[in-house]
Amino acid sequence: MKTDLPQSFRRLEYRPPNYTFGQVELDIALDPARTIVKSRLQVLPGKSYETGAPLVLQGQELEFVSLRINGDAHRHFELTPETLSIYSLPNDGKDPFVVEIICICVPEKNTSLMGLYVSNGNFFTQCEAEGFRKITYFLDRPDVMAKFRVTLQARETECPVLLANGNLLSTEKLPNGWHSAVWEDPFPKPSYLFALVAGKLDCIEETITTGSGARKLLQIWVEPHDLKKTRHAMDSLIASIRWDERRYGLELDLERFMIVAVSDFNMGAMENKGLNIFNTKYVLAQPETATDIDFANIESVVAHEYFHNWTGNRVTCQDWFQLSLKEGLTVFRDQEFSADQMGTQSGRAVKRIEDVRTLRQLQFPEDAGPMAHPIRPDEYQEINNFYTVTVYEKGAEVVRMYQTLLGVEGFRKGMDLYFKRHDGQAVTCDDFLAAMADANHCDLTQFKNWYSQAGTPRIKVEERYDAPQNQYHLTLSQSIAPSPSQSEKQPFHIPLKVRLLTPADDQVEQLLELKAEKQTWTFDNINERPVLSLNRNFSAPIRLDFSQSEADLLALFSSDDDAFNRWESGQKLAMQMILENRLPDAELIAAYRDILLDPELDPAFKELALTLPAETYLYEQCTSVDPQQIFKSRRAFRRALASSLRLEWAALYQQMQTPDGFKPDAISAGKRALKNLALSMLLDADALIWAPMAVNQYQNADNMTDRYAALAGLVIHGVNAAKECLEDFYQRFAGDALVLDKWFALQSSRPPVDGAEQTLTDVYRLREHVAFKMNNPNRVRSVIHAFCMNNPASFHQADGSGYAFWAEAVLALDPINPQVAARLARALDRWRLFAQPYQGKMHAYLEEVAANKTLSADVREVITKALGN
């Protein structure tokens, strides 16, 4: 079916603004039902100034009150639901002038959680990408950078804390129980980095001294009852500040740095200059309520948002097409930080594997689907839909390839030049590439293709060993499939780390640069046929088309010195057998046993090596997916692995105990991960025999990692004790929203035991639960997204019942929060990949959603692209 699409924005049509701002002064009187915003804007001619051009400001869901220019009332304007256009400007706008606007917004009715809104009685903002226009009329675009001075006013009993970007200048008591605070940000910033927070909050604070000797105040603000859960976030912030000084010479540039946690938030966190606003999920942690994964995620997200202080704030994006300029670069920086925090080389390898798993399970499917786009898109209709794993995770891989090509020192030179050239500017991905190239005196022209072409390159591998000449010949060919709006592709510049493994072990790792469609390399003095270890440490985000023998894969799995490729070879062996509906053979079982028993291997690596490829990743290896067959084959493979190694699993369960109290360090977390994998495998081998041990662990655990793992094992395996333990879990943690999210998500993501229909029945029941809130993104993700996007075997049913639930949920969510609804809408965007009857059912429900006339622009873009209309 054909539909009318909203306006498209195109990168090549970028034009600098007619006007820009110098100083911005905001006076905001906070009231849930009627917030009055007074803005005073110093307006200057912009780079694209044209004589007599109107000043067109963006504004949404605002009540306009008045307009003054240079102090006088001004009536030459036009209002629409999206804009305020001001005409008859002083001297045709050639000279600076001052615009004063008064408008009103209603935070308590703002369920989109964009702009200014209320959560649990407190005020918060989210302005990226286009939320500031819901606060006041403004040039709401990233290339308009101005200095902000903000006065906040509120009733002191309701909002004793008043926070905004920058440095606190003054506070004042006002009549009628009101008070005010004046904040000033000394650095120019775009409106998307504006933030304010007001309410009943308390903080933990630390004062640190930076490398230059400056004293800095660090604060983490939360609701008072959560204060005891902030220590790990503060430690992560301090570690991030220290790391950025050491690694890149970048120092905290404000007198204070603040983090605020809120439970109603669309994203993970937001890097507003000096006032980061976080989803509580990525701030609050203590052993009793947070898992090892939660602790690691908090460390990573705190680092990510802090690193944006330079890569995103001090140097920002010219336009939203350049989003990966800040996000891809900053994801790479937080990945490197987290890897360094692991403390060992094997720990770094574990972090690398985890990052690649995320990329493959989430980004590779996006690259192959209707929403495929380059890391720098050429066109969008709704920018919120482009906060994607492609922009973030693939963007980080592109940045990593710079470091692979240039080396760590060369990459640092490029970063230094980037900041020297562009501090305080709004720039492009081309500017970043130019800094890297110029600092290292190299030609990166072809590397630009990573920014402009969608899709994951496929590398065909051909190898030939010439025994008489003692030569090994390696031929690599690259290709990339057509994607939406891109039928023809140019060759990429692909860095590939390679090593030939030989019995003599005399070959060193080399870096090959694949630039042509097809290239051949010859290796001399190779006395025996080697085993090829290619794309080591996942040096490029590619798919390998390589029919490597199972014998070679077993050799790599047993002895490759590159930890990533060792893990990768085991994944390939398991994947091949599962897709061929085979059980693990004796040789593979022996290889698994050797890894489990190897005293030199990190427990975290063992856990990853014995974790099978995800169902959704297996889907991507098929041309026609039968989700139920893949689920059954994978489950049978896992049960065989569990049964064959049950003695080893039982021994590991005892060996990996951590009796000295909970510590969130990498070594302890690795032991817990391996121990809990062992428990899950023992339940797979014989749930009745091992269930009492799981119940014992659940009842006696001193930390959430172990308690939740035991509960998950009982629930997933359908053990009778699961119901009683679920009820106990709810009663224990009924007052903790984040822990309840886990309780909801576990039930929604439970794979089929006695029948998939049972899980769907549970999900409908959970939606009616007194603690479920459709306007809270975390709770929606823990129930609806968990079922539709994280439970493929239960969601993909031949009768289409899961898809009917999806359609109902998308339509119910869209009027409340279009961003959250659009994320959910993507659950069916790969419908063409599936066999019948799944494909037909998915298409029918996509059409049903598309037929709704009131869809938001966010959801309509996703559905329309999925249908190919």
Amino acid at residue number 199: G
Q: How far apart are CA 697 and CA 704, in angstroms?
A: 11
Query: Which residue of the set 100, 299, 305, 568 is catalytic?
Result: 305
Active site residue 615: no
Residues with Cβ within 8 Å of 847's Cβ and at least 6 positions away in sequence, in order, are 1, 867
Closest to 446 (Cα-Cα) out of 484, 481, 401, 412: 401
Contact 99, 67 (CB under 8 A): yes
Could you give the maximum distance between any two Cα atoms of the chain, in Å?
A: 95
Q: What is the DSSP letter of 62?
A: -
Q: How far apart are CA 207 and CA 213, in angstroms?
A: 12
Count of other CB atoms within 10 angstroms of residue 169: 12
The 3 state secondary structure assigned to 622-669 is CCCECHHHHHHHHHHHHHHHHHHCHHHHHHHHHHCCCCCCCCCCHHHH
**Strands laid side by side in the 35-45 sheet:** 72-73, 63-69, 97-105, 35-45, 19-29, 147-155, 178-184, 167-173
Show Cβ contacts of residue 344 under 8 Å, excluding neighbours closer than 6 positions.
602, 666
Question: Contact, 527 vs 502, CB < 8 A?
Answer: yes
Q: Structure tokens of 119? A: 């959560």
Calpha distance 414→408 (Å, rounded): 10
DSSP for residue 541: S
Dist CA 193 CA 129 (whole Å)? 9
Nearest residue to 310 via CA among 141, 437, 427: 427
At 835, the amino acid letter reads A
Q: What is the C-alpha to C-alpha distance for residues 434 and 248, in angstroms, rounded to an integer?
A: 18
CA distance to 11, 113, 152, 230, 762, per residue, from 452 (Å): 11, 32, 43, 41, 44
Active site members: 305
